């Protein structure tokens, strides 16, 4: 890693994040961490596959850029998806000059903590990527927050890299809304023409490298468990790591 890890309690976090960290630690000490994880794992939803998907996906690999709260958990989920070759934590929605963790944490840069997912469309479609995103990676009904994290930098957002991706995303949001899959309206924003900027090295592969970190135990490991439970055909045991992808390039 090229940068030193900052204070373990992320400096951009609000008081609720600190509370969850403390609660997770207490649960682990009390031997209740597993029970909490199982309870949280029930939050995921079984949702229909998209009725509209890409008609002619590009040859080779494809990229999807998604935001759904803290990027640690979103990255961790997609690293365990079959057909994904890389999932990079980063920032999208703002300018390159402000794409830095401490600055994004102010909530004033326009950025959202995001993940750039590189996948093989012959193994998994863009629509199926979105199905996992809406089902287990985050709660698309939360406006400018996910779990203990609050602010526009934690918004639910899709950053299409093509007009076809945008059409698929819009159609799927409409489909899920009409089906009333969620108890509240989907607030996911679809933001075109936004660049993605990788986050600092210490944020990459964070879930894999820190599986006992209280925030990860309480908020993110249940998401990976949900992926395995609800999408067994798409779950991969060995995660696609950023470090390995860099080494192979």
The pLDDT tens digits for 42-84 are 579 999 999 999 998 878 999 999 999 999 999 999 999 999 9
**Tally of domains within the chain:** 1
187 belongs to the catalytic site: no
With respect to residue 206, please indicate whether it lies within any of the assigned structural domains: yes
Residue 197 placed within a domain: yes
CATH code: domain of residue 206: 3.30.1060.10
pLDDT digits 0-9 by tens, 84-101: 999 999 999 999 999 999
The pLDDT of residue 59 is 85
95, part of any domain: yes
Q: Could you tell me the pTM of the whole model?
A: 0.86
Structural domain includes residue 146: yes
- Residue 56 is predicted with a pLDDT of 84
pLDDT, residue 115, reads: 99
DSSP of 125-181, one letter per residue? -HHHHHHHIIIII--TT-SSEETTEESGGG-EEE--SSHHHHHHHHHHHHHHHHHT-
pLDDT given at position 105: 97
111 domain residue, yes or no:
yes
Q: What are phi and psi of 237, to 5 degrees?
A: -70, -50
pLDDT < 50 stretches in the chain: 1-41
pLDDT of residue 157: 98
Residue 203 resides in a domain:
yes
Alpha-carbon distance of 26 to 46, in angstroms, equals 31
Active-site annotation holder among 70, 157, 161, 230: 70
39 assigned to some structural domain: no
Structure confidence at residue 9 (pLDDT): 39
Residues 6+ apart with CB under 8 A from 113: 67, 69, 70, 71, 74, 89, 90, 91, 104, 153, 154, 199
Residue range of the domain that includes 111: 59-211+234-248
Classify residue 46: in a domain, yes or no.
no
Instruction: Note the pLDDT of residue 43.
Output: 76
């Amino acid at each position: 890693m090229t940068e030193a890890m900052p204070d373990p309690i992320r400096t951009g976090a609000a008081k609720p994040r600190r509370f969850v960290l403390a609660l997770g630690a207490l649960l682990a000490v009390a031997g209740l961490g597993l029970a909490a994880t199982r309870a949280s794992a029930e939050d995921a939803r079984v949702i229909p596959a998209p009725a509209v998907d890409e008609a002619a996906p590009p040859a080779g690999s494809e990229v999807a850029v998604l935001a759904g709260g803290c990027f640690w958990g979103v990255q961790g989920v997609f690293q365990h998806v079959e057909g994904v070759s890389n999932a990079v934590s980063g920032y999208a929605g703002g300018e390159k000059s402000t794409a830095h963790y401490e600055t994004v944490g102010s909530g004033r840069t326009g950025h959202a903590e995001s993940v750039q997912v590189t996948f093989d469309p012959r193994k998994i479609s863009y629509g199926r990527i979105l199905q996992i995103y809406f089902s287990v990676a985050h709660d698309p009904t939360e406006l400018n927050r996910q779990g203990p994290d609050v602010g526009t930098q934690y918004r639910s957002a899709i950053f299409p890299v093509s007009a076809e991706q945008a059409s698929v995303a819009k159609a799927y949001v409409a489909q899920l809304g009409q089906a009333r899959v969620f108890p509240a309206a989907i607030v996911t924003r679809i933001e075109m023409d936004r660049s993605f900027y990788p986050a600092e090295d210490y944020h990459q592969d964070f879930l894999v490298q820190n599986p006992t970190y209280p925030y990860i135990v309480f908020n993110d490991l249940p998401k990976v468990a949900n992926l395995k439970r609800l999408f067994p055909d798409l779950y991969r045991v060995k995660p696609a790591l950023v470090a390995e992808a860099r080494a192979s390039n």
